[in-house]
C-alpha cells in the first residue's frame, strides 16, 4: 500500500461547458497532485508507484495516471522499470552535491544583483516575508517534524523575495527550478535535523544582511544556509532516505 492513502476527490474540471471530465484534464490534475507528493516527500524515494493504488488516491483512471507518470519520468522525478511499472526516483548523493553547489553560485549571484538594484519595495518584501516566516512554526509538532504547509509557502516566498530585484527573469526561473528540485532533499533534511537546527536564525541573519545592503555577507550567509542543508541531507541519506521520509511524510499535512 502507498503511504497516506487518504482519498483525494476526483477533479471537477470538464472537457466543455457542462460536459464530463476529459482524459486530458484528468491527466493534468493527476500529474499536479502526484508531482507535488513526490517533490514534497509524501511519496518516498524508491517507492513503487502502483497504478491501481494511485487511482484510488487521486480519483483518476489508469490512462490519465499513466500519462502523468510518463510526464514525471521525462522530468526525472519517476523512473520507468522495464515491464514492472514505475518508481519514485531515488535520491542521489552525488547529484545532491552538484545541486547544492549550483544553487550557491546562481542564487548568490541573483541575491548580489538584487542588493545592488533593489528599491524600497524590494526591502519591504524581504522584511515582510521574513516576518511572516518567523511567525510560523517549522513543524506542526514540537518534538518531531511534521511539515507545516503555511511555513512551506512562506519559506518559498522569502527565498523568492531575496532574489526578486535582480532584473534577470531567466535567472530567477532557473533559481526556482533548482529550488524545486532541492525540495525533495530538503524534506529529508527537515526530518533528519528537526529540532536541532535553528533554521529561523539562519533566515533572520540572511534577511538582515540583505537589508543592510551587504553584497558580500548576504550571499555568503545564503551559501552557508544551502550548504548546511546539503550536509544534513547527506547524513540522512546514510541511513537510507525511505525511513526518514516516512517518519515525517506519513503524518497528515
Within this chain, do residues 168 and 216 fall inside the same structural domain, yes or no? yes
Q: What distance in Å separates the CA atoms of residue 130 and residue 160, rounded to the nearest whole number? A: 11
Domain stops at, among 88, 112, 132: 88
pLDDT of residue 231: 85
Within this chain, do residues 74 and 184 fall inside the same structural domain, yes or no? no
pLDDT of residue 191: 67
Q: Under DSSP, is residue 83 helix (H, G, I), strand (E, B) or coil?
A: coil
Phi, psi of 215 (to 5 degrees): -75, -5
Within this chain, do residues 62 and 105 fall inside the same structural domain, yes or no? no
Query: Which residues form the domain of 185?
Result: 93-249
Within this chain, do residues 141 and 56 fall inside the same structural domain, yes or no? no
Within this chain, do residues 115 and 83 fall inside the same structural domain, yes or no? no
Within this chain, do residues 58 and 133 fall inside the same structural domain, yes or no? no
For residue 171, give the C-alpha cell: 535567472
CATH code of 136's domain: 1.20.120.530
pLDDT of residue 76: 84
Within this chain, do residues 64 and 100 fall inside the same structural domain, yes or no? no
Output the pTM of the full model.
0.73
For residue 132, give the C-alpha cell: 511572516
Within this chain, do residues 136 and 236 fall inside the same structural domain, yes or no? yes
Phi, psi of 44 (to 5 degrees): -70, 150
pLDDT of residue 116: 98
Task: Answer for the pair 104, 227: CB distance below 8 angstroms, yes or no.
Answer: yes
- Residues 6+ away with beta carbon under 8 Å from 214: 115
- 64 burial via Cβ count (<10 Å: 0-12, 13-18, 19+): buried
Q: What distance in Å separates the CA atoms of residue 98 and residue 225, rounded to the nearest whole number? A: 16
Tens of pLDDT, residues 38-74: 887 788 888 999 998 998 888 888 888 999 999 999 9
Which residues in the chain show pLDDT less than 70? 1-24, 188-195, 238-253
Within this chain, do residues 164 and 225 fall inside the same structural domain, yes or no? yes
Question: Which DSSP state fits 139?
Answer: B
Number of domains in the chain: 2
Per the domain annotation, does 13 fall within a domain?
A: no
For residue 3, give the C-alpha cell: 503511504
String of DSSP letters for 21-71:
PPHHHHHHHHHHHHHHHHHTTSS-TT-EE-HHHHHHHHT--HHHHHHHHHH
pLDDT of residue 237: 73
Within this chain, do residues 110 and 233 fall inside the same structural domain, yes or no? yes
Domain stops at, among 53, 88, 123: 88
pLDDT of residue 70: 92
CATH code of 72's domain: 1.10.10.10
Per the domain annotation, does 237 fall within a domain?
A: yes
Q: What distance in Å separates the CA atoms of residue 161 and residue 248, rounded to the nearest whole number? A: 28
Task: Give Rg (Cα) of the chain.
Answer: 19
Q: What distance in Å separates the CA atoms of residue 116 and residue 27, rounded to the nearest whole number? A: 44
Within this chain, do residues 146 and 73 fall inside the same structural domain, yes or no? no
Q: What distance in Å separates the CA atoms of residue 37 and residue 241, rounded to the nearest whole number? A: 15
How many other C-beta atoms can be found within 10 angstroms of the C-beta atom of residue 67?
Answer: 18
Amino acid at each position: 500500500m502507498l503511504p497516506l492513502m487518504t482519498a483525494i476527490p476526483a477533479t471537477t474540471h470538464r472537457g466543455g461547458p457542462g460536459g464530463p471530465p476529459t482524459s486530458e484534464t484528468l491527466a493534468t490534475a493527476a500529474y499536479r497532485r502526484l508531482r507535488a507528493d513526490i517533490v514534497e516527500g509524501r511519496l518516498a524515494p524508491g517507492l513503487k508507484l502502483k497504478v491501481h493504488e494511485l487511482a484510488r488516491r487521486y480519483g483518476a483512471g489508469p490512462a490519465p495516471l499513466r500519462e502523468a507518470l510518463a510526464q514525471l519520468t521525462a522530468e526525472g522525478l519517476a523512473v520507468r522499470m522495464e515491464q514492472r511499472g514505475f518508481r519514485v526516483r531515488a535520491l542521489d548523493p552525488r547529484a545532491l552535491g552538484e545541486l547544492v553547489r549550483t544553487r550557491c553560485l546562481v542564487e548568490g549571484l541573483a541575491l548580489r544583483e538584487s542588493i545592488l538594484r533593489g528599491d524600497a519595495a524590494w526591502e519591504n518584501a524581504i522584511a515582510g516575508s521574513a516576518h511572516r516566516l518567523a511567525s510560523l512554526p517549522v513543524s506542526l509538532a514540537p518534538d518531531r517534524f511534521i511539515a507545516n504547509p503555511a511555513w512551506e509557502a512562506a519559506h518559498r516566498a522569502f527565498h523568492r523575495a531575496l532574489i526578486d530585484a535582480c532584473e534577470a527573469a531567466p535567472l530567477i526561473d532557473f533559481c526556482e527550478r533548482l529550488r524545486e528540485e532541492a525540495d525533495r532533499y530538503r524534506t529529508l533534511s527537515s526530518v533528519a535535523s528537526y529540532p536541532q537546527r535553528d533554521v529561523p536564525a539562519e533566515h533572520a541573519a540572511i534577511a538582515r544582511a540583505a537589508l543592510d545592503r551587504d553584497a558580500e555577507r548576504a550571499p555568503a550567509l545564503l551559501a552557508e544556509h544551502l550548504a548546511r542543508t546539503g550536509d544534513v541531507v547527506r547524513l540522512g541519506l546514510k541511513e537510507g532516505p525511505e525511513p526518514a521520509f516516512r517518519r515525517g511524510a506519513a503524518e497528515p499535512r
